[in-house]
Amino acid sequence: MKFFEIIIELFMCNSIKRLLLFSIVALCYGTVSLAQVDQFIINKGWEFKQADKNEWLSATVPGCVHTDLLDHKKIEDPYFGTNEKKVQWVDKKDWVYKTTFKVNDLNKQKQELVFEGLDTYADVYLNGEKILTADNMFRSWTIDVTKGLKKGENELKVYFHSPIKMATPLWDEVGYPLYAINDDSKTGNTGDRKLSVMTRKAGYHYGWDWGPRLVTSGIYRNIYLKSWNKVTVDNIRYQQKNVSEKNVDILTTVNLNVVENANVTIDVLDAKSGKKYASQEVKVSANDKLTTLKFNIKKPKLWWSNGLGEQNLYPIKLVVREGDKVLDENTQNIGIRTINLITEKDDIGESFKIRLNGIDVFMKGTNYIPGDMFLTEVSDEKMEETIKACADANMNMIRVWGGGTYEKDLFYDLCDKYGLIVWQDFMFACSLYPGDENFVANVKAEVKENVIRLRNHASVGMWCGNNEIEWAWFGWGIQKQMKWSEADSTKIINDYFRLFTEEIPNTLHEYDDKDYWASSPYFRKYGDHLETKGDRHLWDVWKGPKSWDYYKSHVPRFMSEYGYQSYPEVETMQKYVTKEDLSLWSPGMRNHQKAKYGNKRIMKNVTKEFAVDGNNFEKVVYASQLYQAYDLQFAIETHRRKMPHCMGSLYWQVNDCWPVASWASIDYEGKWKASHYAVRDAYKDVITSVSLDEAQFNVYIVSDLLKAEKAKLKVDVLNLNGQVVKSEMMDVTIDPNTSKMYYQFPLTELAIDKKELVVVTTLIQKGKKIDQNEFFAARNKDLTLSTDYQLEKKVIAQNDGSYVIELSTDKVLRGVKITSSVEYGTWTDNYFDLVPGETKKIVWQPTAPSTEKVEFSVQTLNKILKDQPAEVLSQL
Ligand code: BMA
């Protein structure tokens, strides 16, 4: 089948949306093979059934058992209320999927079935013959079916064994319990058995402190029939050498699959302009299928992370041809750049910083978890929305965390496009794993495959062995807790060392030369020196009793995790619990808080900070979001002010995989919480930031720009009624790529109490305000904010359906939140502070045009603190 026929096929089928997007995306960004290689995606006519029953029902592929059962109303929505508990039987059953597909042309020399993702224990039968036993959702499988395929109708059957039933004997065989703190075996009814560690399957499926336990099975990525003659491209490695703005040498290693000896020509060219970079004739055979080519690009436009420059990408096409006949071709976007993790001894201890194109860049970013419990529910649009929201929030790094999954290709294409450097964990988190030969071999194959798949992406910047396993072993006292014998302890830690200090890095470095960090944090090596060496996770503020100030006294070289929980928007939650359950301690809401002591921790601080009434759900949601926003803002500014001692800040976490109380800054429905606006502001290229240190106000400017800039710095102190207490304006030259203190003054100079003031710092360049930041010196509850303010407001409807809202005030307002009566839309800003003398202009853009009259209401912390209701701004 020719490529355009495949596209037509895609147009004709029913559940094509995902596949269509897959093709378009593949064309736009990724890898696509045309030419003599035919690829036929088998996504139609699928049916499924419970193995021990006889009812076949239609199925969506790619998908999973839970979503298919849901489509047929065989289970209730597991995201609603406490339904999660009712569907725990699903993972104890075996499930069968089957379909038929037609083959008209058997003339190609090689026919292969490619399974891009089977979750997880699957026996695959073609026309009744077993062709594959799969046991790792992170791997793909290519099976030679040249002999087994028939002309006409063929039957494909995939038998999924229950991951619980499969893992139980494996667990028992180990002979000692393994550790997996987040595996919710209680809900899953597996007693003390933490089965997640036995299976190469996304850890978060078994429960996490922000996720339910929904242990899926299913065909979650494409299955396709690949038919080809003679030679096809298996994989390519583009290694960049001598990178500079003048030149880059690219060593291309092509790994071919060969079914018949051939004299082929390999061309490398620019897919857009057709310009040929290199051409080479090679004799290939099954024994000799590795070829290297060298070429160079003069004056390459380098790839930069978000904020530092363009994300230049070169679409490199590699063609394998025999004379004029193209046998296979492959196009990939390559970004020219050098990227290293620099860990070298220095005056402080040992650095941890990313060097991009020779420049040490402060990493501003976040941790990413899978976008849904059911991976195929993460549409390409949703994925792009999340990645774009990170770029819009001025981030330049995203960490793909080890309890989830190696994301689909699109994720990395988007990171290439938006300039987010990927910190890629291997898929191990907060657990200890078995060390038998089968397990190790399975992991090595998984590492090899994912490294090969991801290594050419401009965005993929570093690899990390695992999340928090060394911290657990060397810092949490789990050896005592688990009561392992000495012999078992030794075996467990030796298995750990073998995997993370030998097998994984050795396999990785066979296929890619980017840097490897064994564990985040690297506790074995740096446990006692986390402020001076390596990266650090800081959870003392969330867990308490430490307050935000703790961030200030504990600034590491790179903060790879910290954060604070909040509740999602009320409109989001009301879709997933009954009306009666819209209160913190209801059964429905409790099931949407997965962290131990989560509600208590939030409420303790939120009530302390804002004096909010814990029984008023809406106010609690609002206050929890503000608390999270202020927490992240404080931490980020603290980390950035300490640049270059600290060279990175990745908060936990950007997204949710279902509607839940969590550390996310964007909720499951894609709504920005207060924290996402705060993070965006704190991550701007140039910020002003005030620190109150021993009764002295220190005004900093932090700049990520690479050039010095001239600007005017304005420092105003206002009392909370809006009167100016102090005002200074000065000319400054902002030093590049660093943080510096530019101005200071003592609190005593002001003659008012710190509860009564706000310090407003403004940076002005060529008459334009490039930053404004408000610093409140006391805890929110103590602020003498007035409720008796005049809010001037203007709501202007635009022709395109958006609204412009202009606000100004006579008194200082804190935490201004605007809500629209129509639910879905985006705000250019929200949850901000407003000071007298400025007019704040916000645009609200509805997601879809609305015929309804849109109303806006405003609430402020001023009123919440004094328990007064929001006021409604009617449309003008
Ligand atoms: C971090 C993560 C996750 C967890 C989060 C919040 O350490 O690695 O394991 O969800 O903390 O507790």
Model confidence pLDDT, tens digit, residues 312-360: 999 999 999 999 999 999 999 999 999 999 999 999 999 999 999 999 9
Task: List the residue whose alpha carbon is closest to atom 1 of ligand 1.
Answer: 561
Model confidence pLDDT, tens digit, residues 189-241: 999 999 999 999 999 999 999 999 999 999 999 999 999 999 999 999 999 99
Model confidence pLDDT, tens digit, residues 387-419: 999 999 999 999 999 999 999 999 999 999 999
Domain 230-334 class in CATH: mainly beta
Rounded to the nearest whole angstrom, what is the distance from the C-alpha of residue 429 to the centroid of ligand 1?
A: 9
Confidence of residue 662 (pLDDT cuts 50, 70, 90): very high
State the Cα–Cα distance between residues 684 and 41, nearest whole angstrom: 44
Residue with tokens 């991801």: 454
Name 459's bridge partners: none
Is the confidence at residue 19, as pLDDT, over 50? Answer: no
Rounded to the nearest whole angstrom, what is the distance from the C-alpha of residue 564 to the centroid of ligand 1?
A: 11
Is the confidence at residue 17, as pLDDT, over 90? Answer: no
Confidence of residue 849 (pLDDT cuts 50, 70, 90): confident
- Residue 296's SS3 state is strand
What is the CATH number assigned to the segment(s) 35-224?
Answer: 2.60.120.260
State the Cα–Cα distance between residues 693 and 775, nearest whole angstrom: 13
Per the CB < 8 A criterion, the answer to whether 373 and 405 are in contact is no
State the Cα–Cα distance between residues 90 and 107, nearest whole angstrom: 42
CB within 8 Å of 27: residues ≥ 6 apart: none
Supply the pLDDT for residue 249: 98
Rounded to the nearest whole angstrom, what is the distance from the C-alpha of residue 489 to the centroid of ligand 1?
A: 24
State the Cα–Cα distance between residues 757 and 740, nearest whole angstrom: 24
Quote the tokens at residue 338.
Answer: 């050098």
Model confidence pLDDT, tens digit, residues 237-290: 999 999 999 999 999 999 999 999 999 999 999 999 999 999 999 999 988 889
Confidence of residue 871 (pLDDT cuts 50, 70, 90): low
Is the confidence at residue 2, as pLDDT, over 60? Answer: no
The 3-state secondary structure of 329-356 reads: EEEEEECECCEEEECCECCCCECCEEEE
Q: Which helix (H) or strand (E) segment is 304 a member of?
A: none
Is the confidence at residue 34, as pLDDT, over 70? Answer: no
- Residue 272's SS3 state is coil
Task: List the residue whose alpha carbon is closest to atom 12 of ligand 1.
Answer: 209
Is the confidence at residue 33, as pLDDT, over 60? Answer: no
Model confidence pLDDT, tens digit, residues 46-70: 999 999 999 999 999 999 999 999 9
* Burial category of 707 from C-beta neighbours within 10 Å (exposed 0-12, middle 13-18, buried 19 and up): exposed
- Report the candidate in 810, 865, 805 with the shortest Cα–Cα distance to residue 829: 805
Dihedral of alpha carbons 510, 513, 514, 519, sign: positive
Confidence of residue 870 (pLDDT cuts 50, 70, 90): low
> What is the four-CA torsion angle of 164, 504, 656, 858, rounded to 10 degrees?
160
- Report the candidate in 668, 770, 665, 21 with the shortest Cα–Cα distance to residue 389: 665
Mutation probe of ligand 1 site: the residue of 204, 468, 541 with most atoms within 8 A of C-beta: 468
Q: Mean pLDDT over residues 136-144, rounded? A: 98
- Report the candidate in 468, 517, 474 with the shortest Cα–Cα distance to residue 343: 517
DSSP 26-80: HHHTS----TT-EEEE--SS-EEEETTS---EE--SS--HHHHHHHTTSS--TTS
Q: Mean pLDDT over residues 534-548, rounded? A: 94
Task: List the residue whose alpha carbon is closest to atom 9 of ligand 1.
Answer: 430
Percent share of the chain, pLDDT over 90: 89
* Type of residue found at 758: V
Indicate the range of 33-47, 155-169, 443-457, 483-497 predicted with least confidence. Answer: 33-47
Supply the pLDDT for residue 529: 84
Rounded to the nearest whole angstrom, what is the distance from the C-alpha of residue 640 to the centroid of ligand 1?
A: 22
Domain boundaries, given as residue ranges, for the chain: 35-224, 230-334, 342-682, 686-782, 791-873
Domain 342-682 CATH assignment equals 3.20.20.80: yes
Q: Mean pLDDT over residues 839-868, rounded? A: 88
Name 368's bridge partners: 400
Supply the pLDDT for residue 13: 37
Give residue ranges with CB within 6 A of ligand 1. Answer: 208-210, 429-430, 467-468, 537, 561, 652, 663
State the Cα–Cα distance between residues 600 and 625, nearest whole angstrom: 15
Task: List the residue whose alpha carbon is closest to atom 10 of ligand 1.
Answer: 209
For the whole model, what pTM was predicted? 0.94
Q: Could you count the other beta carbons within 10 Å of the beta carbon of residue 316?
A: 22
Is the confidence at residue 503, as pLDDT, over 70? Answer: yes
Is the confidence at residue 32, as pLDDT, over 80? Answer: no
For residues 467-479, b (16+ Cβ closer than 10 Å) or e, as one string? bbbbbbbbeeebb
Residue with tokens 């502001």: 681
Percent share of the chain, pLDDT over 70: 95
Rounded to the nearest whole angstrom, what is the distance from the C-alpha of residue 753 to the centroid of ligand 1?
A: 39
Q: Mean pLDDT over residues 849-860, rounded? A: 88
Is the confidence at residue 683, as pLDDT, over 80? Answer: yes
Q: Mean pLDDT over residues 500-528, rounded? A: 95
DSSP 479-530: HHHHT--HHHHHHHHHHHHIIIIIIHHHHHHHH--S-EEEEES-HHHHGGGT
Per the CB < 8 A criterion, the answer to whether 411 and 439 are in contact is no
Model confidence pLDDT, tens digit, residues 413-460: 999 999 999 999 999 999 999 999 999 999 999 999 999 999 999 999
Supply the pLDDT for residue 16: 33
State the Cα–Cα distance between residues 56 and 332, nearest whole angstrom: 41
Mutation probe of ligand 1 site: the residue of 369, 430, 542 with most atoms within 8 A of C-beta: 430
Distances (CA, A) of 370 to 401, 656, 842: 9, 8, 31
Is the confidence at residue 301, as pLDDT, over 50? Answer: yes
Model confidence pLDDT, tens digit, residues 638-657: 999 999 999 999 999 999 99
State the Cα–Cα distance between residues 681 and 762, nearest whole angstrom: 13
- Report the candidate in 593, 562, 597, 566 with the shortest Cα–Cα distance to residue 658: 593
Confidence of residue 732 (pLDDT cuts 50, 70, 90): very high
- Report the candidate in 398, 497, 402, 397 with the shortest Cα–Cα distance to residue 447: 402
Which phi and psi angles does 323 have, rounded to 5°?
60, -125
Average pLDDT, the chain: 93
Rounded to the nearest whole angstrom, what is the distance from the C-alpha of residue 105 to the centroid of ligand 1?
A: 51
Is the confidence at residue 770, as pLDDT, over 90? Answer: yes
Confidence of residue 11 (pLDDT cuts 50, 70, 90): very low
Q: What is the DSSP secondary structure assignment for residue 244, as one 8-state letter? A: -
Rounded to the nearest whole angstrom, what is the distance from the C-alpha of residue 400 to the centroid of ligand 1?
A: 13
Degrees, nearest 5: CA angle 394-399-401: 150
> Same topology for domains 230-334 and 791-873, yes or no?
yes
Mutation probe of ligand 1 site: the residue of 652, 653, 660 with most atoms within 8 A of C-beta: 652
Residue with tokens 């102190």: 717
Q: Mean pLDDT over residues 157-178, rounded? A: 98
Confidence of residue 823 (pLDDT cuts 50, 70, 90): confident
* Type of residue found at 161: H
What is the CATH number assigned to the segment(s) 791-873?
Answer: 2.60.40.10
Q: Mean pLDDT over residues 508-537, rounded? A: 93
Domain 686-782 class in CATH: mainly beta
